[in-house]
C-alpha cells in the first residue's frame, strides 16, 4: 500500500493568507501538495459548520487562516472569527473531537514562507496521525448494532 | 442544467511545466455540468480571450471556469471577456493553477491531481453562481465639512474649487480653529494669522461654500452618496442679515469679566462678542449663559445701542436638514490644561501656563500685544522653564502616546522668547527630542546652538512657589541624574494633545469608530488613512491623532481628493458582493428572527432594523435585519454569525462555499 | 399560594392581563405548565420549588401571542430568559406582566423589565454543582474517552428536537437544521448528523443559553445536552467576562470582541 496522503482543506481569507499563498507561488517556495484552498472574503465569513462539513466529507486535516490581528481588510472580521474559534475549539474539546486536526493560523500577504512551512508542518502532523476515521466509524458501529439488535429479536 | 466551459491556460510554460494541462482539460470535460473544456498557451492574450468569447457563443455556455494564474491577477480580465461573450461576469470564476499549484509543486501526478481538484471545486462553485449586477447608487454632489479649523478650511476650499458644493459647520462663532490662536508657526516662524486669515476670508466669500458658524451636527443618517444630516443652528441672538459688525454692542456690553476662550483665559471678553478681530464671520453672538439680560432679565443695552436693529433676544435654535454625498470630519483637538498636573500646582500658580497660553502671550494680537509677560504681575520673565511631554507618554496619566507637536513648538516658544529678550534664559526639560520632518531638526538645533536655549534631558518632579519665584525641581539624566533646581519666573507646560471632550458623541452620531483615547479611527492605518470605516466619511486633522499643520493640511487635501473622486460621476458603482437578508412569502416574510445581534457584528454599521408593515393598516408585522447595500463591503462576518442562515453573501454564498468543500473532498488527493 | 392567586385575580380584574401562564399540580411530583384564561380558573395556580419549567418558551407561540396581555409566573431561569430575550429584541409585540415568588414566599409583580434585570442581577444563580461535577469528571477523562462518551450518547439521539422545542432561546422561525438549500445537517438520526446537530446547537446557544437545563431534563433518551452549553457559558465568562441573561443591554460574547482577546492556539 502506498504512503498515506492526507487531505487537507484550507479555509483562508482573500486579503492576507490567499495573497500569502500566491506569494509563496511567485517566490517558487515548494510545499506539500496535500492542501486545497477554499477562498473566503474574510475569516469572519468562515462558518464553523463548513469545518464540520469538511471533516464529514473526508478531510483529514483543516487549516483556517487569515489576517493577523489589527490587519483585517475589514478591520474586525478576524477579531470576531477569533472569538468564534475560541468557543468552537472549546466545544470540540469537550466532546473529545481531535482538535489537533484543525490548525488556526495568521498568515499575512507577506508571509509566503510561513504559509509554505505551515502547510508542510500540518501535512507531516496529519501524516503521523493517520487518516481521520472517527466519524466513519460512528455510523458504521451504530448501524451494525441496530442490525444486530434487530436480528436477535 | 448548467453548461460550463473550462479553459486551462498553459501560461507559456509556467503552468504546463509541472501540470499536465491536457489531462486537466480532459478530466474537466467529464465533470458534471461541464459542456466544453480546452487548454491554450496564453488564455489572457487577445487570441485566448477570443477563444473564450467564441466558445461561450458556440457552446451556449452558462458559466466559465478559467484555470490560470491567481484571481488577484486576471479575474477582472476574464470576467470582462465573459461579459463580451454574453454571460454575466460573476458567472466566471478562476481556478488558481499557477501561484498555488504549478509554481509550488514539482511535476508529479499529485500536482496534476491537485489542479484537477481545484478545477472541479470551482466548476461546482460556478454551478451555484447566480448572475449579479453592479449596484448603482446616486451621488449627491455636496460635501459636508464638520469643523472650521485649518483642516476643514483646506478640505472645503479644495472641494469647492473643484466645482462642488460644500456646507461647512463650525460649532464656535468663527472659523479659524486653533491655528488662529497661534503666534508664529514652526519651522519657518511665519505668522500664523497672516497665512490663515486669507483662507478664512476665501471660505466666507466662496460661491460654492455655505458657512454655518455657531452650529452643530445633530444627527447623520443614510449612507455614502446619500447622507441626511440635521444641523442645529444655535441661536446667535444677532440677526446676521442686519448686523454690520460695527462693534458698538460689545464696546457697550456691561458684562466684561468673562474669561476669553480665544486668549486661552488670559484676558476677558464681553457677553456679546466676536471671538477675535479677524473672525469670520465678524459678527457677534450673545453668550446667553453670561448675559445679564438672559440671566437676570435686566440690561438690554446691546439692543438699545445697535444702530442696525440686529439684536434679537427671541431668536431660537433652528434645525435644518441637509443632503450631502460625503462628509469630512475635521473636528480638531483639545489640550490638557494645567489643572491636570498636581505636581505642578493643579493650575493654581498663575505663572505656570500651557502652550496655547504662551502662544497668546507671544502673539501680536494677544492680551499683551506680543510682549511675553507674567500673567500674575505683568513683569517680563527673566527665566522661563519649558516642560516637554507634560502628560504625554505617561502611562500613569493614561496618555501613552506622543503628542507629536510639543517638541517642535517648545523649541519655537523658547526661540520666540529669546528673540524678544536676548538676555533672558530659557530652559527646556525633555525626555527625547522628536523632530522628524522637513527642516524640523535643523529648527531645534538652531534653538539650541544659535539661540542658546538650555536643553536638559530629564523630568521635573515638582514645582512650588517661593518669594514670587517658581522653584522647578528636576533631574539631569545626562549628568548622572544630578538634581537640578531652577528659580524660574514662568513655567510653560507642553501639555498633551487630547481628543475633544465631545469626540465620543460626535463619533457616535457619525457612526464612525474611535480609539480608547476618543481619537477617530481611520479605515486602515496604512493604506486608508483618510477614510473611516463608514464609506463616504473622511477624516482630516487632529481629530484622528495629534498632528502639526503640514500633516493636517495634507490630510485635508487628501480627504478632499477622495471626495472629488466620489463626486466625479453621477452614480457610484459598487461591487455586488454584498450581504442580503433573505425574503420569503408571508406570513414569514423572512427567516430572520429580528434578534438584531448582527448589528453589532458589522464593521460598517451596514445592518439596520427594518419594520415590515401591513401596507394598508401600517401595523408592524415583523421586525428584521436589513443590509444597506450602500454601506456593506462584503466581508461576510454577519453571514457566518447568523444562527439560522438568514443572511447570505452574494458571490460567496452558503451554497457556493459548501459545494466547494464537498467537491474538493469526494475524490482521493 | 392564596397570595399568588389573589394577585393574579387582581391582574385579571383590572385588565392588566388576559392570559396567565403558570403552574398547576400534576400526578407526578413536578408541577406542569398551565394556561389560565379567566379568573375562575385561578384556583389551580400553584408555585413550589419544584416548578422547574422555563415558561418563557411559550411567549414565542403565536397562539399565546394572540392574547396580547400576558402574565407569566417566572422562576429565576425564566427571569434570566426574559432578560436575555429582551436584549435580543424579542417580545416587542406583546404586553407582558412578569411575576415571581421569592425565597420568603412573597409575590413580586415587576413593573418593567428594568426591575426584572435588577432582580436577576441581585439573585444571579451559580452553575449547578451537579453539572459542574459532571463536567469535571468529563474533563478528567482522556480525549478518546470523552469522544467515546459523547458519541455513545449522541448515537442514542432520535432527532426529536425536544431540546430545541423546550428552549426559550431557540425561537428561529426556520432552524438551520431545516435548511435544505444547502442541506447543512443530515436529516436521518445517524450519529454524525446527530453530532453536528448538537455541536451546532451548542454554538448557537453559546453566550445566550441561560442555563435553565430544560434541554437536558426533557431529552427522552437522557442525553445531558445541557452540559454543552453550561460549559460554553463557563468558558465565555472565564475568557471574556460575559454572562447571559444578565443585562438588558446585551452582553453577548460572540457579537463583540476586544483587540487583545487571548487565545493559545493560533499559530
Q: Do B657 and A25 touch (CB under 8 A)?
A: no
How many CB pairs (< 8 A) connect B and C?
52
Cα distance between residue B30 and residue B24, in whole Å: 10
Distance from CA of C52 to the nearest CA of B (A): 26
Cα distance between residue B114 and residue B7, in whole Å: 16
Residue C29: per-residue pLDDT: 83
| β-bridge mates for residue C23, sequence order | C33, C46
Which regions in chain A score pLDDT beneath 70?
1-2, 139-153
Which residue of chain A comes nearest to B120, CA vs CA? A36
The set of residues, in sequence order, having a beta carbon less than 8 Å from that of B95 and lying 6+ positions away, is B65, B66, B67, B68, B115, B118, B119, B121, B122
Over residues B500-505, the mean pLDDT reads 93
The ipTM estimated for the assembled molecules is 0.93
Q: What does DSSP assign to residue C253? A: G
Of B105, B523, B662, the CB nearest to A30: B105
Over residues B248-260, the mean pLDDT reads 94
User: What are the strands of the beta sheet with C69-73, ordered from one edge?
Assistant: C32-36, C19-24, C69-73, C95-101, C107-109
Residue, of B274 and B523, whose pLDDT is higher: B274
- Let me know if residue A3 belongs to a domain: no
Chains that touch A (3 or more CB pairs under 8 A): B, C
Cα distance between residue A74 and residue B579, in whole Å: 14
A20 at B interface, C-beta within 8 A: no
Domain B579-650 has CATH 3.50.50.60: no
Q: What is the CATH number of the domain that holds A89?
A: 3.40.50
Residue B668: per-residue pLDDT: 65
Q: Which residues of A touch C144 (CB under 8 A)?
A: 96
Report residue B354's pLDDT band, with 50, 70 and 90 as the boundaries: very high
Q: How many helices (H) and strands (E) does chain B have?
A: 17, 34
Residue A1: per-residue pLDDT: 47
Q: Do C265 and A104 touch (CB under 8 A)?
A: yes
Cα distance between residue C127 and residue C244, in whole Å: 12
Residue B195: per-residue pLDDT: 94
B76 at A interface, C-beta within 8 A: no
- Let me know if residue A1 belongs to a domain: no
Distance from CA of A101 to the nearest CA of B (A): 16
Assign domain B142-234+317-332+500-566 one CATH number from 3.50.50.60, 3.30.2350.10, 3.40.50.720, 3.40.190.10: 3.50.50.60
Q: Do C179 and B645 touch (CB under 8 A)?
A: yes
Helix (H, G, I), strand (E, B) or coil at C240: helix
- Contact at 8 Å (CB) between C125 and C137? no
| B window 550-589, beta carbon within 8 A of C | 588
Express each pLDDT in B105-116 by its tens digit. Answer: 999 999 999 999
Chain centroid to CA A72: 20
Of C138, C176, C263, the CB nearest to A86: C263
pLDDT at B574 exceeding the cut of 90: no
Cα distance between residue B311 and residue B317, in whole Å: 15
pLDDT at B88 exceeding the cut of 70: yes
Q: Which residues of B touch A39 (CB under 8 A)?
A: 71
Is residue C47 left, alpha or beta, with left meaning phi > 0 and alpha meaning psi from -120 to 50?
Answer: beta
C-alpha cell at B130: 447566480
Which structural domain, as residue segments, surrounds residue A101?
A: 8-152
Q: What does DSSP assign to residue C249? A: S
Distance from CA of A27 to the nearest CA of C (A): 22
Nearest to B641 by CA among A31, C135, A47, C244: A47
Classified by CATH at the fold level, domain B4-132 comes out as Rossmann fold (3.40.50)
Strand B326-329 relative to strand B258-259: parallel, antiparallel, unpaired? unpaired
Q: Please compute, for residue B663, the number of CA atoms within 13 A of its CA located in the half-sphere on the CB side.
A: 26
The set of residues, in sequence order, having a beta carbon less than 8 Å from that of B618 and lying 6+ positions away, is none
Cα distance between residue B362 and residue B356, in whole Å: 10
Chains that touch B (3 or more CB pairs under 8 A): A, C
Q: Which of A4, A17, A41 to mutate to test the interface with B (most CBs of B within 10 A)?
A: A41
Q: Say how many domains are in chain A.
A: 1
A4 at B interface, C-beta within 8 A: no
Residue A2: per-residue pLDDT: 67
Q: Which residues of C touch B621 (CB under 8 A)?
A: none
Nearest to C202 by CA among C231, C179, C161, C242: C231
Residue C28 class from Cβ within 10 Å (0-12 exposed, 13-18 middle, 19+ buried)? exposed
Report residue B515's pLDDT band, with 50, 70 and 90 as the boundaries: confident
Q: Do A83 and C191 touch (CB under 8 A)?
A: no
Task: Map grid coordinates 463616504 to a residue.
Answer: B536
How many CB pairs (< 8 A) connect A and C?
117
Residue B100's CB is within 10 A of a number of other CB atoms, namely: 26
- Contact at 8 Å (CB) between A140 and A133? no
Residue A152: per-residue pLDDT: 56
Q: Do B661 and A54 touch (CB under 8 A)?
A: yes
- Let me know if residue A57 belongs to a domain: yes
Domain coordinates of chain B in residue numbers?
A: 4-132, 142-234+317-332+500-566, 248-305, 334-498, 579-650
B591 at C interface, C-beta within 8 A: yes
B513 at C interface, C-beta within 8 A: no
Q: Do B636 and A45 touch (CB under 8 A)?
A: yes
Which regions in chain C score pLDDT beneath 50?
none
Residue A72: per-residue pLDDT: 86
Q: Do A141 and C155 touch (CB under 8 A)?
A: yes
**Integer angstrom CA distances of residue A135 from A9, A145, B657, C196:** 17, 16, 22, 11
Q: Which residues of C touch A86 (CB under 8 A)?
A: 235, 239, 261, 263
Which residue of chain B comes nearest to C85, CA vs CA? B595
Express each pLDDT in B333-351 by its tens digit. Answer: 999 999 999 999 888 999 9
Distance from CA of A135 to the nearest CA of C (A): 6
pLDDT cut 90: percent of chain B above it: 89
Q: Do A75 and B121 touch (CB under 8 A)?
A: no
Q: What is the DSSP string of B589-655?
A: S-S-----THHHH-TT--EEEEEEE-TTT--EEEEEEEE-TTT-----HHHHH-TT--EEETTS-HH
Strands (DSSP E) contained in B423-576 are 425-430, 454-457, 460-466, 469-476, 482-488, 490-495, 497-499, 537-539, 571-574
- Let me know if residue A78 belongs to a domain: yes
Residue A148: per-residue pLDDT: 57
| B window 593-652, beta carbon within 8 A of C | 593-598, 600-601, 609, 620, 623, 641, 643-645
Assign domain B334-498 one CATH number from 3.90.950.10, 3.90.950.20, 2.30.31.70, 3.50.50.60: 3.50.50.60
- Let me know if residue A42 belongs to a domain: yes
Distance from CA of A137 to the nearest CA of C (A): 10
Residue B516: per-residue pLDDT: 86
Summary mean pLDDT of chain B? 94
Residue B221: per-residue pLDDT: 84
Express each pLDDT in B185-202 by its tens digit. Answer: 999 999 999 999 999 999
Q: What is the pTM of this model?
A: 0.77
Q: Judge whether B142-234+317-332+500-566 and B334-498 match in fold.
A: yes
A16 at B interface, C-beta within 8 A: no
A85 at C interface, C-beta within 8 A: yes
Q: Do A84 and C143 touch (CB under 8 A)?
A: no
**Integer angstrom CA distances of residue B669 from B27, C32, C146:** 15, 56, 31
C interface with B, Cβ–Cβ below 8 Å: 88-90, 92-93, 171-176, 179, 181-182, 184, 204, 250, 252, 254-256
Q: Do C255 and B655 touch (CB under 8 A)?
A: no
Residue A144: per-residue pLDDT: 47
Q: Is the peptide bond before B238 cis (omega within 30 degrees of 0)?
A: no
Express each pLDDT in B127-182 by its tens digit. Answer: 999 999 988 889 999 999 999 999 999 999 999 999 999 999 999 999 999 999 99
A149 at C interface, C-beta within 8 A: no
- In chain A, what are the helix, strand and coil shares in percent, each to the nearest 5? 55, 15, 30
**Integer angstrom CA distances of residue A98 from A11, A103, B143, B217, B324:** 18, 11, 56, 55, 55
Residue, of B236 and B666, whose pLDDT is higher: B236
Express each pLDDT in B293-315 by its tens digit. Answer: 999 999 999 999 999 999 999 99
Express each pLDDT in B521-530 by its tens digit. Answer: 898 888 889 9
Q: What is the DSSP string of A85-152?
A: HHHHHHHHHHHT--GGGEEEEE--TT-HHHHHHHHHHHHHHHHHH----HHHHHHHHHHHHHHHHHHH
Q: Do A138 and C207 touch (CB under 8 A)?
A: no
Q: Which of C233, C257, C259 to mutate to test the interface with A (most CBs of A within 10 A)?
A: C257
What is chain A's Cα-based Rg? 18
- Let me know if residue A2 belongs to a domain: no
Cα distance between residue B224 and residue B566, in whole Å: 9
Amino acid at each position: 500500500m502506498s504512503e498515506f496522503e492526507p487531505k487537507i482543506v484550507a479555509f483562508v481569507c482573500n486579503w492576507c493568507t490567499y495573497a500569502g499563498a500566491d506569494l509563496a507561488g511567485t517566490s517558487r517556495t515548494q510545499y506539500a501538495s496535500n492542501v486545497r484552498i477554499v477562498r473566503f472574503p474574510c475569516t469572519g465569513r468562515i462558518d464553523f459548520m463548513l469545518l464540520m462539513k469538511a471533516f464529514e466529507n473526508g478531510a483529514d486535516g483543516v487549516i483556517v487562516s487569515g489576517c493577523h490581528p489589527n490587519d483585517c481588510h475589514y478591520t474586525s472580521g478576524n477579531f470576531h472569527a477569533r472569538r468564534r474559534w475560541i468557543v468552537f475549539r472549546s466545544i470540540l474539546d469537550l466532546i473529545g473531537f481531535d482538535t489537533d486536526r484543525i490548525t488556526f493560523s495568521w498568515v499575512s500577504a507577506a508571509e509566503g514562507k510561513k504559509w509554505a512551512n505551515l502547510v508542510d508542518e500540518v501535512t507531516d502532523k496529519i501524516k503521523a496521525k493517520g487518516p481521520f476515521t472517527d466519524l466513519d466509524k460512528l455510523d458504521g458501529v451504530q448501524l451494525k448494532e441496530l442490525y444486530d439488535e434487530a436480528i436477535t429479536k | 442544467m448548467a453548461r460550463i466551459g473550462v479553459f486551462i491556460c498553459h501560461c507559456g510554460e509556467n503552468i504546463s511545466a509541472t501540470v499536465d494541462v491536457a489531462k486537466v482539460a480532459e478530466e474537466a470535460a467529464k465533470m458534471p455540468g461541464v459542456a466544453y473544456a480546452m487548454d491554450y498557451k496564453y488564455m489572457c492574450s487577445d487570441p485566448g480571450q477570443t477563444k473564450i468569447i467564441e466558445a461561450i457563443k458556440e457552446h451556449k455556455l452558462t458559466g466559465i471556469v478559467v484555470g490560470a494564474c491567481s484571481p488577484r491577477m486576471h479575474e477582472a480580465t476574464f470576467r470582462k471577456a465573459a461579459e463580451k461573450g454574453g454571460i454575466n461576469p460573476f458567472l466566471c470564476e478562476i481556478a488558481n493553477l499557477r501561484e498555488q499549484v504549478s509554481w509550488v509543486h514539482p511535476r508529479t501526478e499529485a500536482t496534476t491531481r491537485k489542479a484537477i481538484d481545484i478545477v472541479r471545486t470551482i466548476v461546482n462553485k460556478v454551478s451555484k453562481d447566480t448572475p449579479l449586477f453592479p449596484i448603482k447608487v446616486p451621488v449627491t454632489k455636496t460635501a459636508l465639512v464638520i469643523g472650521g479649523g485649518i483642516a476643514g478650511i483646506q478640505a472645503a476650499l479644495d472641494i469647492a474649487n473643484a466645482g462642488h458644493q460644500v456646507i461647512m459647520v463650525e460649532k464656535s462663532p468663527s472659523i479659524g480653529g486653533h491655528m488662529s490662536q497661534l503666534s508664529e508657526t514652526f519651522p519657518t516662524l511665519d505668522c500664523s494669522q497672516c497665512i490663515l486669515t486669507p483662507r478664512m476670508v476665501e471660505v466666507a466669500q466662496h460661491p460654492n461654500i455655505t458657512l454655518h458658524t455657531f452650529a452643530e451636527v445633530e444627527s447623520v443618517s443614510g449612507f455614502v452618496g446619500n447622507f441626511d444630516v440635521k444641523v442645529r443652528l444655535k441661536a446667535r441672538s444677532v440677526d446676521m442679515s442686519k448686523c454690520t459688525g460695527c462693534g458698538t454692542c460689545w464696546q457697550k456690553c456691561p458684562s466684561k469679566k468673562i474669561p476669553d476662550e480665544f486668549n486661552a483665559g488670559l484676558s476677558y471678553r464681553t457677553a456679546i462678542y466676536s471671538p477675535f478681530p479677524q473672525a469670520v464671520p465678524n459678527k457677534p453672538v450673545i453668550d446667553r449663559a453670561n448675559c445679564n439680560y438672559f440671566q437676570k432679565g435686566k440690561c438690554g443695552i446691546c439692543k438699545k445701542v445697535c444702530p442696525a436693529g440686529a439684536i434679537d433676544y427671541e431668536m431660537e435654535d433652528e434645525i435644518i436638514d441637509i443632503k450631502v454625498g460625503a462628509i469630512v470630519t475635521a473636528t480638531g483637538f483639545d489640550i490638557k490644561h494645567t489643572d491636570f498636573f498636581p505636581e505642578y500646582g493643579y493650575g493654581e500658580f498663575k505663572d505656570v501656563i500651557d502652550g496655547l497660553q504662551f502662544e497668546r502671550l507671544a502673539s501680536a494680537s494677544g492680551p499683551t500685544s506680543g510682549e511675553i509677560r507674567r500673567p500674575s504681575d505683568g513683569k517680563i520673565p527673566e527665566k522661563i522653564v519649558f516642560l516637554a511631554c507634560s502628560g504625554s507618554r505617561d502611562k500613569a496619566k493614561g496618555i501613552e502616546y506622543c503628542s507629536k507637536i510639543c517638541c517642535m513648538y517648545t523649541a519655537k516658544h523658547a526661540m520666540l522668547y529669546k528673540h524678544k529678550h536676548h538676555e533672558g534664559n530659557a530652559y527646556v526639560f525633555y525626555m527625547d527630542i522628536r523632530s522628524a520632518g522637513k527642516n524640523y531638526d535643523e529648527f531645534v538645533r538652531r534653538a539650541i546652538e544659535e539661540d542658546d536655549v538650555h536643553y536638559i534631558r530629564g523630568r521635573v518632579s515638582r514645582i512650588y512657589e517661593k518669594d514670587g519665584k517658581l522653584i522647578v525641581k528636576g533631574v539631569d539624566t545626562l549628568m548622572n541624574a544630578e538634581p537640578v533646581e531652577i528659580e524660574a519666573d514662568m513655567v510653560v507646560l507642553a501639555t498633551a494633545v487630547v481628543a475633544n471632550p465631545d469626540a465620543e458623541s460626535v463619533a457616535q452620531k457619525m457612526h464612525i469608530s474611535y480609539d480608547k483615547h476618543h481619537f477617530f479611527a481611520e479605515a486602515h492605518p496604512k493604506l486608508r488613512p483618510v477614510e473611516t470605516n463608514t464609506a463616504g466619511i473622511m477624516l482630516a486633522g487632529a481629530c484622528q491623532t495629534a498632528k502639526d499643520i503640514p500633516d493636517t493640511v495634507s490630510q485635508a487635501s487628501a480627504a478632499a481628493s477622495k471626495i472629488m473622486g466620489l463626486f466625479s460621476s453621477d452614480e457610484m458603482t459598487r461591487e455586488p458582493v454584498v450581504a442580503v437578508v433573505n425574503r420569503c412569502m408571508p406570513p414569514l416574510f423572512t427567516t430572520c428572527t429580528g434578534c438584531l445581534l448582527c448589528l453589532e457584528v458589522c464593521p460598517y454599521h451596514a445592518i439596520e432594523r427594518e419594520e415590515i408593515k401591513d401596507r394598508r393598516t401600517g401595523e408592524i408585522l415583523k421586525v428584521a435585519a436589513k443590509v444597506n447595500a450602500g454601506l456593506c463591503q462584503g466581508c461576510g462576518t454577519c453571514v457566518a454569525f447568523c444562527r439560522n442562515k438568514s443572511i447570505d453573501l452574494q458571490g460567496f454564498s452558503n451554497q457556493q462555499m459548501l459545494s466547494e468543500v464537498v467537491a474538493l473532498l469526494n475524490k482521493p488527493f | 399560594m392564596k397570595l399568588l392567586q389573589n394577585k393574579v385575580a387582581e391582574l385579571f380584574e383590572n385588565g392588566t392581563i388576559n392570559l396567565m401562564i403558570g403552574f398547576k399540580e400534576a400526578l407526578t411530583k413536578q408541577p406542569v405548565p398551565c394556561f389560565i384564561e379567566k379568573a375562575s380558573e385561578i384556583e389551580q395556580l400553584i408555585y413550589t420549588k419544584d416548578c422547574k419549567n422555563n415558561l418563557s418558551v411559550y411567549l414565542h407561540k403565536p397562539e399565546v401571542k394572540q392574547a396580547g396581555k400576558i402574565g407569566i409566573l417566572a422562576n429565576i431561569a425564566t427571569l434570566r430568559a426574559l432578560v436575555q430575550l429582551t436584549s435580543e429584541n424579542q417580545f416587542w409585540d406583546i404586553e407582558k406582566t412578569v411575576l415571581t415568588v421569592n425565597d420568603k414566599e412573597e409575590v413580586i409583580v415587576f413593573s418593567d423589565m428594568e426591575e426584572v434585570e435588577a432582580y436577576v442581577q441581585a439573585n444571579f444563580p451559580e452553575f449547578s454543582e451537579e453539572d459542574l461535577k459532571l463536567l469535571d469528571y468529563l474533563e478528567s477523562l482522556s480525549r478518546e474517552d470523552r469522544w467515546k462518551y459523547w458519541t455513545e450518547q449522541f448515537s442514542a439521539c432520535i432527532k426529536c428536537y425536544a431540546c430545541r422545542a423546550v428552549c426559550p432561546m431557540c425561537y428561529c422561525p426556520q432552524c438551520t437544521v431545516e435548511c435544505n438549500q444547502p442541506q447543512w445537517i443530515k436529516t436521518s438520526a445517524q450519529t454524525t448528523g446527530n453530532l453536528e446537530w448538537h455541536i451546532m446547537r451548542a454554538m448557537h446557544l453559546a453566550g445566550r443559553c441561560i442555563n435553565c437545563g430544560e434541554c437536558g431534563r426533557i431529552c427522552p433518551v437522557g442525553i445531558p445536552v445541557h452540559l454543552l452549553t453550561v460549559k460554553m457559558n463557563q468558558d465565555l465568562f472565564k475568557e471574556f467576562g460575559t454572562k447571559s441573561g444578565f443585562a438588558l443591554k446585551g452582553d453577548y460574547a460572540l457579537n463583540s470582541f476586544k483587540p487583545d482577546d487571548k487565545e493559545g492556539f493560533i499559530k
